[in-house]
Structure 1
Amino acid sequence: MNNNEESYFDQIIGPRLRALPPPDDNGLTLEDKWWINRFEYLKEHGYMMRPRYRPGWKPSYDPKQVIEKVDAEDGQEMIHPDVMDALRMSDSLVVALKRVKVSTGEERSATLFSNDANKLDPRNHCVRLLEVLPIPDEDDRKFLVMTWMRPVMNPRFRTVGEGVQFFKEMIEGLQYMHEINVAHRDCSLNNVAMDANSMYTRPYHPIDLKKGYNWSGKASHHSRTRRPPRYYFIDFGHSREYDPSQTRPLEYALKSGGYTPPEGLEGTPCDPFATDVFLLGNLIRTSFLDGDPRLHKPGVSGFEFLRPLVTDMVADDPSKRPTMVEVLSRFSQIINKISWWKLRSRAIKRDEAPLSKPFRAIYHIFWTTSMLVLRKPAIPCPKPLH
Structure 2
Amino acid sequence: MTLQTGVPEDPGEATREVLPKWCRLRDVEKTWVSYYPFLLSRGYRLRPRYDPDWIPSWTLPGKKLHPSRCEDSLYIWLKDNILDAVRMTDNAKVVVKLVPTDSAELHIVNFLSDENKRSDPRNRTIPILDIFLYTDSPEYTFMVMPYMRRFNYPPFHCRGEFVDAMRQFLEGLQFMHENNIAHCDIAPKNMMMEESRVVPKGSHFTDDKTHVGMYESFWWKERCSVGPVPYYYIDFGLSHHYPDGNAGALTIGRRRGFDEIPELSDTKPYNPFKVDIYQLGMTVLDLVKTYPALDMFQPLGEKMCSKRPDDRPTPDEALQLFDGIVHGLSKSKLSARMWQRGDMLIHRITRTFCGCYIAEPHEEIEY
| Structure-1-length-normalised TM-score | 0.77
Q: Deviations over 1:171-196 (max 9, x none)?
A: 11011100111111111112111111
**Amino acid in the other structure paired with 1:44:** S
Task: Look up the match of 1:330.
Answer: 321
Give secondary structure in 2 for the equivalent of 1:311: helix
Q: Deviations over 1:186-240 (max 9, x none)?
A: 1111211111122233333323435545989866432111223221111001111
* Structure 2 partner of 1:76: 74
The gaps in structure 2 that reach 5 residues or longer are: 1-15, 60-64, 356-367
Query: Which residue type is aligned with residue 89 of structure 1?
Result: M
Distance 1:166 1:29, change over 3 A: same
Counterpart-to-counterpart distance in 1, 2:84 and 2:347: 37
For 1:36-75, list aligned pairs within 5 A: 36-61=33-58, 68-75=66-73
Instruction: State the one-letter code of the partner of 2:204.
Output: H
The answer to whether the 8 Å contact 1:248/1:271 transfers is: yes
Structure 1 SS opposite 2:264 = helix
How do residues 147-226 of structure 1 correspond to structure 2 at under 5 angstroms?
A: 147-212=146-211, 220-226=219-225
2:26 matches 1:32: no
How far apart are residue 54 of structure 1 and its match? Answer: 0.5
Which one of the candidate residues 310, 325, 342 is aligned to 1:351?
342
Hey, what's the Cα distance between the residues in 2 that align with 1:245 and 1:210?
40
| Code of the aligned partner of 2:73 | G
* Cα distance in 1 for residues equivalent to 2:186 and 2:175: 14
Q: Which residue of 2 aligns with 1:294?
A: none
Long gaps (5+) in structure 1: 1-22, 291-298, 368-386
Q: Secondary structure of 2:342's partner?
A: coil
- The 5 Å alignment of 1:7-22 reads none
Q: 1:266 to 1:278 in 2, by over 3 A?
A: farther
Distance 1:302 1:256 in 2: 31
SS of match in other structure, 2:145:
strand
Distance 1:217 1:231 in 2: 26
SS in 2 for 1:96: strand
Q: Is the 8 A contact 1:253 1:272 kept in 2?
A: no
**Aligned counterparts of 1:273 and 1:49: Cα–Cα separation in 2:** 37
Task: Indicate conservation of the 8 Å contact 1:254/1:260, yes or no.
Answer: no
Do the aligned residues in 2 keep the contact of 1:86 with 1:96 (CA within 8 Å)? yes
1:58 deviation in Å?
2.3
Contact persistence 1:252–1:267 (CA under 8 A): yes
User: Cα distance, 1:265 vs. partner?
Assistant: 5.8
More contact order relative to length (CA 8 Å, sep ≥ 6):
2
Local SS of the residue matching 1:350:
coil
CA distance in 1, matches of 2:17, 2:111: 41
Residue 119 of structure 2 is matched in structure 1 by: 120
> How does 1:302-313 map onto structure 2 within 5 Å?
302-313=293-304
Conserved 8 A contact 2:108-2:236: yes
Letter in structure 2 aligned against 1:353: M
Q: Please report the TM-score for the alignment, with normalisation by the length of structure 2.
A: 0.81
Q: Which runs of 4+ in 1 moved over 4 A?
A: 23-26, 210-219, 256-259, 354-357
Task: Sort the Cα spacing of 1:45 and 1:317 in 2 relative to 1 into closer, same or farther, 3 A.
Answer: same
The aligned runs of 1:197-276 (5 Å cut-off) are 197-212=196-211, 220-228=219-227, 229-244=229-244, 248-252=248-252, 254-255=254-255, 257=257, 259-264=259-264, 268-276=268-276
Question: Any conservation in 2 of the 1:302–1:346 contact (CA below 8 Å)?
Answer: no
Distance in 1 between the 2:296 and 2:25 partners? Answer: 50
Deviations 1:235-260 (A, max 9, x none): 00111111236863311264375544
Residue range with higher mean Cα deviation, 209-218 or 114-123: 209-218
- Check whether the contact 1:175–1:324 (CA below 8 A) recurs between aligned residues: yes
Residue matched to 1:300: 291
Amino acid in structure 1 at the alignment position of 2:117: N
Q: Contact 2:152/2:188 (CA < 8 Å) preserved in 1? A: no
> For residues 318 and 38 of structure 1, what CA distance do their matches in structure 2 show?
44
Cα separation, 1, equivalents of 2:171 and 2:139: 34
Residues matched between the structures, number: 328
User: Are the counterparts in 2 of residues 251 and 269 from structure 1 also a CA contact under 8 Å?
Assistant: yes
Q: Which amino acid is the alignment partner of residue 242 of structure 1?
A: Y
**Superposed displacement of residue 153, structure 1:** 2.0
Which residue of structure 1 aligns with residue 13 of structure 2? none
